[in-house]
Amino acid sequence: MRELLAEPATRVRLDVARLRSLDAASAALLLELRDQLRAGGSEAEVSGAQGRVEAILDLVASSARGVAPRVARKSPGLVEQIGRNTAQVSAFALEVLSFTGEVVAAAAGALRDLRRIPWRSVWSLMERTGADALPIIALITFLVGLVSAFQGAITLHRYGADIFVADGIAIGVTREFGPLMVAIVAAGRSGAAFAAELGTMRVSEEVDALRTIGLDPYPYLVLPRVLALGAMVPILTMLGDAVAIAGGATVGVLGLDLTLASYLSETQLRLTFWNIFTGLIKSLAFAIAIALIGCKWGLATRGGAEGVGRATTSAVVTMLFSLVIIDAAFTLVFYAWDI
């Protein structure tokens, strides 16, 4: 075939009369050769086909006719790329704005009439996002308290300041690690579940079905999730703080020869209203962000099961990114206000 193409004759007859069978790939190659020869100016034909060979050649030829020629995609230039990305970002910003507006309207409506909130759904979500998350939260925060205490002890022990491990853990856990670790677990566990659930409802037309029944998905689906997570994450954070302090105390008592009473007494000094309050405010903001982002991505899902997977991944990435931004913003504000 390569020789034929390299030095094409003016007239080529591809005689397949003696072929008894032919597979589809060979038929496609044969027809491709004929077409290339014709394109090069030769008079080419496939002749002598009979029976099954003729049938498969006809099938391949007819299916090829229905295929639109593939147009090579021109890679976009820099200006076009900037334009496209700007349009995408603007569209996304508009979507977020519209989503926020819908949620605010739903919240305002619910405040006017609390019976509009599906409380049964809220209780069930509180159980799923709160009580069911306790074991994993306890394990992770205990280990964070333990590891942080070890890290602090290495330095503080050199200066004979072992007792300050308790101060470091109490402040670090209540203001920073507790809220952040609980929020990360909530994002991976509940936020991802919100995106997947709502995404599945979206692609299986359940969200449309809700609308045709006359139920707005924002008060019916989004608001209960925001309320449930907003209520449970601060509670989980308080419990996580306590377990992380217990992790730190384990290191203090077993590794640093501190007494439990002295460790707890030092911890108590640092458990001030502001240390606990700033952590809880952060955790509430984290919870609302996680719920809104999970619901936003879920309700924006397109394209079947694959779309649900994509939406869930995007939701978790956006949540983690947002947690860091919110955390940094709060820290700066608290620093500026000296609290």
Q: Give me the residues that bind other proteins (CB under 8 A), please.
A: 62, 65, 200-201, 204-206, 208-216
2/65 with CB nearer other proteins:
65
In whole angstroms, the minimum distance from the beta carbon of 205 to other proteins comes to 4
- Return all residues near 195 (Cβ < 8 A) that are at least 6 apart: 293, 294, 295, 297, 298, 301, 311, 312, 314, 315, 316
**Tokens 């030095």, residue?**
7
What torsion do the CA atoms of 182, 183, 189, 193 make, to the nearest 10 degrees? 150
| 6, 59, 336 from 37: Cα distances, Å | 10, 21, 78
In whole angstroms, the minimum distance from the beta carbon of 44 to other proteins comes to 22
Tell me if residue 47 falls in helix, strand or coil: strand
102/327 with CB nearer other proteins:
102
In whole angstroms, the minimum distance from the beta carbon of 179 to other proteins comes to 30
In whole angstroms, the minimum distance from the beta carbon of 166 to other proteins comes to 46
In whole angstroms, the minimum distance from the beta carbon of 207 to other proteins comes to 9
Per-residue b or e along 296-325, where b marks 16 or more CB atoms closer than 10 Å to that residue's CB:
bbbbbbeeeeebbebbbebbbebbbebbee
Residue of 113, 327, 121 whose CA lies nearest to 217: 121
204/259 with CB nearer other proteins:
204
171/215 with CB nearer other proteins:
215
| 25, 61, 145, 311 from 29: Cα distances, Å | 6, 11, 67, 42
In whole angstroms, the minimum distance from the beta carbon of 210 to other proteins comes to 8
In whole angstroms, the minimum distance from the beta carbon of 294 to other proteins comes to 16
69/214 with CB nearer other proteins:
214
| 77, 171, 270, 319 from 316: Cα distances, Å | 32, 28, 33, 5
In whole angstroms, the minimum distance from the beta carbon of 120 to other proteins comes to 10
47/62 with CB nearer other proteins:
62
In whole angstroms, the minimum distance from the beta carbon of 48 to other proteins comes to 22
184/207 with CB nearer other proteins:
207
Question: Which ranges of 256-303 would DSSP assign to H, the alpha helix?
Answer: 260-270, 273-299
13/302 with CB nearer other proteins:
302
87/139 with CB nearer other proteins:
87
| 87, 95, 103, 170, 198 from 92: Cα distances, Å | 9, 5, 16, 40, 19
Please say whether the beta carbons of 288 and 323 come within 8 A: no
| First and final C-alpha spacing in the chain | 81
Distance of alpha carbon 279 from alpha carbon 327, whole angstroms? 10
